[in-house]
Amino acid sequence: MPRPTTAIIDLSSIAYNFNVIKNHCPKSKIYSVVKSNAYGHGVRKVVDALKRSDGFCVATIEEAGEFREFSKKPLLCLQGFYDKEDLKFAHFHKLELVIHNKEQIELLEKSKLSFSSLWLKFDTGMNRLGFVHNDIENMMHRLKPFSKKIVLMTHLKSSSGKKMSKKVTNEQYNLFTKTSLNLRKQKHKFFTSVSNSGGILNFDDLFSDIERPGLSLYGSHYGHESKTFRLKNVTTLVSKIIAIKEIKKGETVGYDGLWQAKKNSLIGIVPIGYSDGIPLNYGNKGYVLVKQSKAKVIGRVAMDLMAIELPHDEINVGEDIILWGKELKVDELALLTDNIPYSFMTSLSKRVKRKYIK
């Protein structure tokens, strides 16, 4: 009998969430972000559910290679390429590339390879990858011989919709818009790409030619308080209780005794741990659902197991556990445990069985 720990992934919910996003920005093309194995959901299955996408985004050349094993859809590599061999690989597999440093442009010039689309990254404040304002026009001039389609893109550093976030995002967008207008006055022709999930969900005026949703496709409203968007839950992580122990008042549970019983208690042992992607700091902060009741995770999460304090004594070995899902949002758990939904999703290891439903 296999371990009773499974991520149940509803592919129809992913398709539904895509439609919600598309309907919000109908004039924009949508490049769906499927990096990190589609945020842990399984890239092959997710791409099939996102058939309406105009293109897809991955982070690395390695991810692009895996993608090309099963799909010829337009594919953007967000980190571009690292050396001349990667550049040749990208050309052979007809990838779209993000260009974010001068070394990449120099390699491109030496190679004389042309691409269907090149994306010029404008650093409007993230201060990570990309060219600053003063370099953009020169870099666009240098890219034009190698592609008939240039996309000017930027990346939002804070798009949660909170007051400070809105201020920062509007500053980035204003700089992007001003620079775009100046470039068009100089007769440059290009497309634009600005918004990630936060930009789409939390702002009504950040539309560009191509949007790049990621987290929202997988059902997370993280940082979004508006009732306008009704995204569907995608993943339900389930397991079962494999043992129940009686703990007397004053006894501790788990490594280093980080939880001590304040009264005689019943605890359940669940076969999932940090090797499966459960955060190490989940103990004494997070909780699960058992028989529709909350059960607090106690003590230190171990590699393969974690303990929960049972809410009542009418629970038996073999009882179903929901670690997150429709009734227990991953967004809520992320806030409780000082994490982000991305880390919950992408950390689910390969040994957690995936079950796909449509």
16 catalytic residue (yes or no)? no
- Residue 145 — φ and ψ, nearest 5°? -65, -15
Active-site residue (options: 22, 31, 35, 274): 35
* CATH classification code of 11-218: 3.20.20.10
User: In sequence order, which residues have a C-beta less than 8 Å from that of residue 294 and are 6 or more positions away?
Assistant: 287, 288, 311
Q: Say what the pLDDT of residue 202 is.
A: 86
How is the chain split into domains, by residue range? Answer: 11-218, 235-357
Strands lying side by side in the sheet with 265-270: 243-247, 265-270, 306-309, 293-298, 287-290, 320-324, 235-240, 6-10, 353-357
Q: Could you tell me the pLDDT band of residue 204, with boundaries at 50, 70 and 90?
A: confident
Q: Could you tell me the pLDDT band of residue 162, with boundaries at 50, 70 and 90?
A: confident
Taking 90 as the threshold, does the pLDDT of residue 118 lie above it?
yes
d(CA 291, CA 322): 9
Instruction: Give the tokens for residue 127.
Output: 């201060």
Helices 84-92 and 102-111 meet at what angle, rounded to 10?
60
Query: What digits encode the pLDDT tens for the residues 46-81?
Result: 999 999 999 999 999 999 999 999 999 999 999 999
Look at domain 235-357 and name its CATH class: mainly beta
Q: Write the DSSP string, 172-199.
A: HHHHHHHHHHHHHHTT---EEE---HHH
Q: Residues 128, 133, 138, 142: is their CA dihedral positive or negative?
A: positive
* Minimum mean pLDDT range among 53-62, 101-110, 182-191, 275-284: 275-284
3-state class (DSSP) for residue 234: coil
82 catalytic residue (yes or no)? no
The residues facing 354 across adjacent strands are: 7
* Minimum mean pLDDT range among 29-38, 161-170, 272-281: 161-170
Could you check whether 11-218 and 235-357 share the same CATH topology?
A: no
pTM of the model: 0.94
Active-site residue (options: 84, 148, 249, 255): 255
Query: What digits encode the pLDDT tens for the residues 301-332?
Result: 999 999 999 998 899 999 999 999 999 999 99
Read off the pLDDT of each residue in 178-201 and give the average, rounded to a whole number.
95
